[in-house]
Every structure is written in C-alpha cells, then in structure tokens.
Amino acid sequence: MPATLIDGKALASQIKAEIAQEVNQLTSEGYRAPHLAAILVGHDGGSETYVRNKVLACEACGFDSTLIRYEDDVTEAELLQRIHQLNQDDSIDGFIVQLPLPRHINEQRVIEAVDPRKDVDGFHPINVGRMAIGLPAFISATPLGILTLLRRYNIATKGKKCVVMGRSNIVGKPMVQLMLQKEGADSTVTCVHSRTQNIAEECRSADILIAALGQPGFVTADMVKPGAVVIDVGTTRVPDASRKNGYRLSGDVDFEAVSEVASAITPVPGGVGPMTICMLMQNTLAAAKKEIYKD
C-alpha cells in the first residue's frame, strides 16, 4: 500500500485561510491588521523568490507588508540603524532580515539587533533559549511547520522514536528540542549527522524520520522502517535542462522508493516548504496579538 501523501501545500492554504478569518475578525473589531516587514539585501535569486512568496502570503492572510530593499553595498551600520527603527516602530508587529547577507555584514550581529518581541523568524538567541527551556518563544518556521504537519495529520508522537537527520541551527537542532519536549512532541529523539556511524541502522529505528541534510536522495528505502512517517526537509536545486528555469528542487528522500515503505511521506516540493512561510504568518499574528511577549 503506497504511503499517505502529507500535503503541506493544502494544509498551508487551510491555515492561511484560518489566519485570514481571524484577521478579518480582528479588523472588524477595530484592530489594525498584523504588519510584517522584510529587509532584502541585494538580488540573490533564491532570496528574491522567498521574499516575494512571503509578501504574497501576507496578502493571502490579510496582513499589511512592507518590503525594504538595499543594494549589496549597504553598510552594516545602515542596516543596524534601519533595524533599530523597525524595533521602535509601533506600526510593525514583526520583521525579518532575509539571509544570507553579503560577507561584509556580520549576520549574528544583525540577528541579535532585532527586538526579540518582533523576531518572528525566531533566530534571536533569547528566542532560541526560551524555546529550549520550554518558555513561550518565537519558534523558527521550519521546525514549527513540521510539528504542525504532524499534529494536523494526527500522527502519534508521544513516546515514539524520532530520528532527526542533520544538526543545523535553523532546522536540526530546534527540531530535536521540539520533538523531545513534553510540551512538544514528547518523543524519544536521536539526532544523526555527518559524523554518525551506522546512519542507516539509526534511521531504521525511527517511527518518525525527519531528513534535513541537504543531500538529494540520501534516504533510500532500506533506511526506512516499514510504516514509518517520513518528513523531507531537503530543497536542493539540482540542474535540470528540461525545466524552463534550469533546475528542479530535490528532497533528501528517494521519494518513489520510500513511499512504498513509509506509511506517510511529504513530497518535495509541496511538503515542508509551504508550511514554513505559513508558520511565519502564524508567528506574525502571534506578535500582533502579543501572545508570546505580553508587553
């Protein structure tokens, strides 16, 4: 029996519609709409696409959005000054600085300049730390999107074995914490990575396998326990002459073969990706409602 397709695109649409409905309610009560700002430096193709999709998602949710553009040669001081203004601006509920930034700018300094109360990307160390301790926090969008997929698809997680592949700061590490916490998925969690011996064996122990390595097709059918749930976070651009733009997105999972073994699986594209932007919207709504930080 082929696996259930976990349709992130459809779920993201549904959640955005739920958010739009709530925004509609808020504005009908006299509140202003949530307002997300995005800073985009330079003209990287990937970043342009991500930011455009974020602006479109704001429109779908009934949010206001502001796009602030800088050329590649913007100084760190200019950028920090603008961030300071956004921190002070009461009409902005949350904002993001699209990464990566040009090399002459210290990314960590930029991340730490964002007021944690407006840090809807959840990258500020104080949000990372609060999440780790189990306090209310903005949680970065990809791991939050995966947890939401699991919950909305009623996938049992409590006491289940979860294997997270990868240990990046924005996916692997926070994913480990969310899957581990009692207030999160309450699973037994293993994290495997480039240094892991017997990686296939570790993966085969998983009831829930979350692949975030960025290595196209790494997860083959023999690495998946029959009946496991497989979440594919990989989105590597692979050259493809048959496509108009010259590439296709490839996940970390050999989808065709693994979907014969798994009980449920996310596709790439259309799985985790759409959920990520949707969670940014959810965080922005939470910022507007002051759900995380009360003052």
Task: Select which of 16, 93, 98, 160 is catalytic.
Answer: 98
User: Which tokens sit at 82?
Assistant: 């603008």
Q: Is the bond preceding 143 in cis, omega lying within 30 degrees of 0?
A: no
Is 127 among the residues that bind a second copy (CB under 8 A)? yes
Out of 192, 223, 279, 287, point to the residue binding a second copy (CB under 8 A). 192
What is the pairing mode between strands 247-250 and 236-239?
antiparallel
Whole-number minimum distance, CB 229 to a second copy, in Å? 16
Please check whether residue 119 is in contact with residue 273, taking contact to mean a CB–CB distance below 8 angstroms. Answer: no
Q: How far is CA 159 from CA 154, 179, 203, in A?
A: 15, 10, 17
- Whether 54 is catalytic is yes
3-state class of 9 per DSSP?
Answer: helix
User: What is the distance between the terminal CA atoms of the chain, rounded to a whole angstrom?
Assistant: 52
Q: How far is the CB of 195 from a second copy (least distance, A)?
A: 4
Count of residues in the chain: 295
Distance CA 248, CA 261 (A): 24
Stretch that binds a second copy, among 11-19, 58-66, 139-147, 168-176 (CB under 8 A): 168-176
State phi, psi for 288 to the nearest 5 degrees.
-60, -35
User: Among residues 191, 208, 212, 261, which is the contact residue for a second copy, using CB under 8 A?
Assistant: 191
- Site size with a second copy, rule: CB under 8 A: 37
Q: Smallest gap, in angstroms, from Cβ of residue 239 to a second copy? A: 30
Q: Which residue of the set 93, 119, 121, 232 is catalytic?
A: 121
279 touches a second copy (CB under 8 A): no
For binding to a second copy (CB under 8 A), which residues are involved? 108, 124-130, 132-135, 158-161, 167, 169, 173-174, 176-177, 180-182, 186-193, 195-197, 202
Query: Which residues belong to the active site?
Result: 54, 98, 121
